Amino acid sequence: MSISNTAITPEIVAEHGLSEDEYASILKILGREPNMTELGVFSAMYSEHCSYKSSKKWLKTLPTEAPHVIQGPGENAGVIDIGDGEAAVFKIESHNHPSFIEPYQGAATGVGGILRDVFTMGARPIANLNALRFGSPDHPKTRHLVGGVVAGIAGYGNCMGIPTVAGEVNFHPAYNGNILVNAMTVGLAPADRIFYSAAAGAGNPVIYVGAKTGRDGIHGATMSSTEFNEDSEEKRPTVQVGDPFTEKLLLEACLELMATDTIIAIQDMGAAGLTSSAVEMAGKGGLGIEMDLAKVPAREENMTPYELMLSESQERMLIILKPDAASEAEARAIFDKWELDFAVIGTLTTTGHLVLKMGDELVGDIPIAPMVDESPEYDRPWEPTPASAVVVASTVPAPASLTGALKKLIGTPDLCSRRWVWEQYDHLIMGDTAIRPGGDAAMVRVRDSKKGLALTVDCTPRYVKADPETGGAQAVAETWRNITATGARPLAITNNMNFGNPQKPQIMGQFVGAINGMRAACNALDYPVVSGNVSLYNETEGAAILPTPVIGGVGVIADIEKRGTVAFKATDEAIIVIGETTGWLGQSIYLREVEGREDGAPPPVDLALEKKNGDFVRGLIETGKVTACHDVSDGGLAIALAEMALGAKGLGADVAPQSGLPTHAWAFGEDQARYVVTAKNADGILKAAADAGVSATVIGTTTGTGELKLGTGDSISVSVLRSTFENWLPDYMAVS
Amino acid sequence: MKSAIIVFPGTNRERDMAIALEKASGTAPFMVWHKDSEIPDVDLIVVPGGFSFGDYLRAGAMAAHSPVLRSLKEKAAKGTPVMGVCNGFQVLTETGLLPGVLMRNAGLKFICRNVGLRVETSRSLFTGGYEDGQVLSIPVAHNDGNYFADSETLDRIEQNGQVAFRYVDETGETSAAGNPNGSARNIAGVFNKDKTVLGFMPHPENAIDPAVGNTDGRGLFDGLVRALS
């Protein structure tokens, strides 16, 4: 065994993010001191990013099964059956830390990574989504980060030719030093042609394909598992650099290869690069793997085994091929056609060891099963989040006028139009975008069919902060509601758990609470988790982000022609609120933006009510009884009505506040499980609602006046609202 | 109508284009790989949208030097109609088959949205499915759609009737507000002198199906089929 000249000191161990206990475990597994390459491999595998050591205990409690689930968590992406022999393959993943350090490349490679996770499984990506959280608009870095992240997502996704169809963008000072960039990809594959990562067949060749390996991104997985401090800027060299053109070639080459009968297993090289892909493939197959690192196509000269194993260069895959020469020749020809590297770098073995060579020299030898089995798992101490007091609506001062407050709210950073963002994304390529960005959920048609997938990402972090369990449930319920509002049936979710430092019991308490809420919601709504990602240590100088468990939801609709959309369609239609309005102002946007208060308990989430109301609304859409449908969320009823009017040309609404409530609580309260629908005939809907035990109330009618009237003598022009709504973001970004 | 679509490694709207051509003509187009030196005998050659070679140099610059382009130029010289859409328009200007160049959008950002597009002439084999002056709503999706040529060239192509489409605002006027990318004189598409080659930025292939937008793009494909069948 060749041991590098560097002695492994406690400082080096600490620099690799390993605790003393973890290092002791490494010594035990190896029966000797590791060399630097081996230490690097352990460090990557034991990082929070790869090992889920703080979160595993809790993630395991989430429901992951349903008759339509083909593959739950643990693979590159989740897979669900969408009928007709087809499967949807999807996952969300964070690229938070790199995007703060280098927003364009960080966000671009986040998109690239999640695309690979999906096409590794044999699926052609058909839609991208993203959830972005930035600091306060007043923070000096925010504008630069927004511009860079959006351009990076656009640059990568547009070149790949995958439509970016939905997302969310929010601002809060808690993200000043630690933005969130979560990217989700959805792909389609034949349900019986899914590719997995478990290696099989000792002696089979291990193939490296795609781009060459450089020194970029070394230790990205470790970096993303530590807090930020003022030196983080110096970590810029650990941010990967993306090349969407190469990834497009890799996508086409992989899908072409997958149509042949040559692949045994395939895995993308994402976080921790060659290390995690080799270990995961061999580990899942119960095999060993021997690789000659000298055969890895390198972009730079004199790369060390350590660098080759830990580089996070993008656009690379590891493939186990069938052993016959014909398979190799067939595969090689495909990668030659696409002008991508194709190198046999090793073989599967029966030793159960990861054996690394550099030419003839042995540079690493690690038993895989003990490394994976002894991978740390912590039951971190946690403290429940103290309950917040309920804000009594009658104690919150009323605005001078409802429409005045509405105008203010609709021009705030969290409620204004995101057009400036999504017009930079090609959201129409593939010609299947049935609901474009800006609706409740996006909808993409399944090519050559009438079927559609409804897609959304949601989270309301201020609710999670105030009450993690309610907030966790609310995030799941909101995706379910957004999908339901298009008429689609929600099937499954992917989750992106963005939290602070789990070694702090308060933060761990947020995590545990959110998981508990999510579990309850997934169970109540028959809506399992099939994939996900955890991003911890989102802190800067000791200050954590808001707890942000982002949920990506996928639903299916049998006929896209029957989809529900947000915009008012005609005058003199009844406007009906489904669900009860109690005027819940605690943690509302109104309270924050108008009263400057971020406090109170968030609106309760009654999951049985969510299900009942949602199933009722979906039935109305399916049977063509409603002409428009919108879920009620941030900003409450008044914002929902305004958005429905903004989507139409020349239409308005005349509605009357509910009696018995302060009018501003009626207008801006954020009670859950609510929808606004319009219909030519309200009577049938009211009767059906009464029969189903669902609350349904006619609050007014659509008008042709182009005015939104919220009660006697209080109206505002929709075109004024529109310019307020549309202008904030472009005006903000125009300041240099 | 038989057609062929040229496919570069980074082309990404070839499937959308193939669907539109097949729907209109009833015949699936040939997909011709960029390394092929021969294009089959067809009635129409289309260079579709995408990022041909990643477009890290100038959009379309490297594609213009690929083997298949030699065959395309020969066939174009013999009068085979050629249509370039988006990146295809960029490629055709880079090869010199069409006048002008396409620069970075004036706003420096990628733009994806429906734009107003005025048909400047219906008297061509590409635009015969439309009326003169008809205003369409068609999506654009590009980073480099800012059409530029010197004023003499612009005057000349206008006099020759070589302007196929212009960007217009909601009132149908060629205003600055209706110009999404800063194109000279709001030009969205141009013909060669003989009107056998057309290039334009918008994507009629993404406007053929009422279930996912409007059908304003159909006129182009239906017109081509009528002219070339």
The tens digit of pLDDT for each residue in A537-583 reads: 999 989 999 999 999 999 999 999 999 999 999 999 999 999 999 99
- CB-nearest to B12 from A243, A248, A434 is A248
What's the pLDDT at A224? Answer: 56
> Which whole number is the average pLDDT over A682-691?
98
Phi-psi region of A537 (alpha: psi -120 to 50; beta: other; left: phi over 0): left
The rounded Cα A396 to chain-centroid distance in angstroms is 35
A359/A302 Cα distance (integer angstroms): 13
Which of B14, B34, B120, B203 is catalytic? The answer is B203
A403/B14 Cα distance (integer angstroms): 48
3-state SS, residue A181:
strand
To the nearest whole Å, the CA of B140 is away from the closest chain A CA by 9
pLDDT at B117 over 70: yes
What's the pLDDT at B112? Answer: 98
Tell which of B34, B112, B215 to mutate to test the A interface (max A CBs under 10 Å): B112
A727/A706 Cα distance (integer angstroms): 19
What's the pLDDT at A4? Answer: 52
> Which whole number is the average pLDDT over B68-78?
96
pLDDT at B218 over 90: yes
To the nearest whole Å, the CA of B176 is away from the closest chain A CA by 17
- CB-nearest to A245 from B51, B139, B205 is B51
Among A249, A623, A294, A634, smallest CA distance to A461 is for A634
> Which whole number is the average pLDDT over B118-133?
97
Please, which pLDDT band fits residue A271 given cuts at 50, 70 and 90?
Answer: confident
pLDDT at B58 over 90: no
A472/A549 Cα distance (integer angstroms): 7
What's the pLDDT at A261? Answer: 95
pTM of the entire structure? 0.96
What's the pLDDT at A226? Answer: 60
Run of H or E including A522: helix A505-524
Q: Give the residue numbers in A contacting B (CB under 8 Å), as ranges.
A: 151, 154-155, 158-161, 243-246, 248-249, 252, 338-339, 422-434, 445, 560-561
Residue A466 tokens, joined = 């105030």
Residue A316 tokens, joined = 């690379």
pLDDT tens, residue by residue, A504-530? 999 999 999 999 999 999 999 999 999
To the nearest whole Å, the CA of A1 is away from the closest chain B CA by 44
- CB-nearest to A429 from B13, B56, B209 is B13
Residue A364 tokens, joined = 């690493």
pLDDT at A7 over 60: yes
What's the pLDDT at A228? Answer: 60
pLDDT tens, residue by residue, A30-42? 999 999 999 999 9
Please, which pLDDT band fits residue A218 given cuts at 50, 70 and 90?
Answer: confident
pLDDT at A68 over 70: yes
A222/A269 Cα distance (integer angstroms): 15
What angle in degrees, to the nearest 10, is found between the helix axes of A402-410 and A718-734?
A: 30
The answer to whether the CB atoms of A431 and B212 lie below 8 A apart is: yes
Residue A252 with chain B: CB contacts under 8 Å: 9
Which of A16, A68, A95, A353 is catalytic? The answer is A95
B82/A649 Cα distance (integer angstroms): 39
What's the pLDDT at B105? Answer: 97
Among A409, A417, A420, A414, smallest CA distance to A734 is for A420
The answer to whether the CB atoms of A245 and B109 lie below 8 A apart is: no
The answer to whether the CB atoms of B110 and A154 lie below 8 A apart is: yes
The answer to whether the CB atoms of B16 and A561 lie below 8 A apart is: no
The answer to whether the CB atoms of A424 and B10 lie below 8 A apart is: no
What strand order describes the sheet that includes A489-498? Answer: A433-435, A442-445, A452-458, A548-557, A489-498, A529-535
Q: How do A707-710 and A652-655 pair as beta strands?
A: parallel
The answer to whether the CB atoms of B51 and A427 lie below 8 A apart is: no
The answer to whether the CB atoms of B51 and A248 lie below 8 A apart is: yes
Among B114, B155, B118, smallest CA distance to B135 is for B118
What value, to the nearest 5°, has the Cα angle with vertex B91 and ends B90 and B96? 100
- CB-nearest to B205 from A160, A422, A431 is A431
B112 is catalytic: no
What's the pLDDT at A1? Answer: 44
What's the pLDDT at A272? Answer: 86
pLDDT at A439 over 50: yes
Residue A52 or residue A216, greater confidence = A52
Number of Cβ atoms within 10 Å of the Cβ of A19: 13
The answer to whether the CB atoms of A252 and B139 lie below 8 A apart is: no
Q: Which residues of A211-220 are buried (b: 16+ CB within 10 A; e: fewer)?
A: bbbbbbbbbb
Choice among A165-179, A267-281, A572-586, A619-633 with the minimum mean pLDDT: A267-281
A139 is catalytic: no
A591/A669 Cα distance (integer angstroms): 9
Share of chain A above pLDDT 90, in %: 92
The answer to whether the CB atoms of A151 and B12 lie below 8 A apart is: no
What value, to the nearest 5°, has the Cα angle with vertex A509 and ends A505 and A510? 125
Residue A628 tokens, joined = 């428009």
Phi and psi at residue A714, to the nearest 5°: -130, 90
A49 is catalytic: yes
What's the pLDDT at A229? Answer: 59
* Half-sphere exposure of residue A536: CA atoms within 13 angstroms, side-chain side: 21
Q: Give the residue numbers in B contacting A (CB under 8 Å), as ranges.
A: 9-10, 12-13, 15-16, 19, 49-51, 53-56, 109-113, 139, 141, 143, 203, 205-206, 208-209, 211-213
Residues B106 and B146: beta-carbon distance below 8 Å:
yes
pLDDT at A49 over 90: no
Please, which pLDDT band fits residue A220 given cuts at 50, 70 and 90?
Answer: low
Residues A40 and A306: beta-carbon distance below 8 Å:
yes
Which residue in chain B has the smallest CA separation from A161?
B12
What's the pLDDT at B212? Answer: 93
3-state SS, residue A364:
strand
What's the pLDDT at A733? Answer: 97
Phi and psi at residue A563, to the nearest 5°: -65, 150
CB pairs under 8 A between A and B: 85
Please, which pLDDT band fits residue A2 given cuts at 50, 70 and 90?
Answer: very low
pLDDT tens, residue by residue, A354-368? 999 999 999 999 999
Tell which of A111, A128, A158, A562 to mutate to test the B interface (max B CBs under 10 Å): A158
The CA-based dihedral angle spanning residues B192, B193, B194, B197, taken in that order and rounded to the nearest 10 degrees: 0
Taken as a whole, chain B contains a residue count of 229
Residue A151 with chain B: CB contacts under 8 Å: 109-110
Choice among A85-94, A224-233, A329-338, B143-152 with the minimum mean pLDDT: A224-233
What's the pLDDT at B60? Answer: 80
The answer to whether the CB atoms of A561 and B206 lie below 8 A apart is: no
The answer to whether the CB atoms of B9 and A560 lie below 8 A apart is: no
Q: Beta partners for B118?
A: B135, B166
